Amino acid sequence: MQNDLTSHGFNKYVTSATENLNNVGAMAYSNSSFADNLEAQSINTYVSSIVSGIDETQMPSISIYPNPTTDYIQLSSITNVSYVKITNLVGQIMVSLTSPSSEKINVSNLASGIYLIDIIQNGRMKTIEFIKK
């Protein structure tokens, strides 16, 4: 049995302690006195080779337009769309629609900014970023 994470689908990279801390930055103890006091000559860095378990061919093929927009977002299709939610970047729900009856969603009352639209189609969710002018 292996004692490291390579047995779990991770790739192992060995770098010097100082190099590793400089590359990782805020994710590690980047304090220089920490790097100076390291007794180890190297740090093992493990990087997952698995990005996600989601089969992207099963993701909804829906798209939105125009982007950026001023008054409305048009969905490319509402076939089998069960839910649409628009949130701001803080996570506040701005629009929530269950089984939308139109492909056009009014966003004229939203303040200018960047928003996320979550679309659930055939039981799978797709998130698209859009800009409201």
Q: If we measure between CA atoms, which residue out of 124, 128, 127, 118 comes closest to residue 55?
A: 124
Write out pLDDT tens, residues 38-48. 444 444 444 44
Q: Where are the domains of the chain?
A: 5-48, 56-132
Place of tokens 């929530």: 96
> What is the pLDDT, as a whole number, of residue 5?
54
What single-letter DSSP state applies at residue 133? -
Q: Identify the CATH assignment for 56-132 out of 3.40.710.10, 2.40.160.20, 2.60.40.1930, 1.10.3470.10.
A: 2.60.40.1930
98-118 pLDDT, tens digit per residue, is 999 999 999 999 999 999 999
C-alpha R_g of the chain = 23
- Region 69-98: mean pLDDT is 95
3-state secondary structure of 104: strand
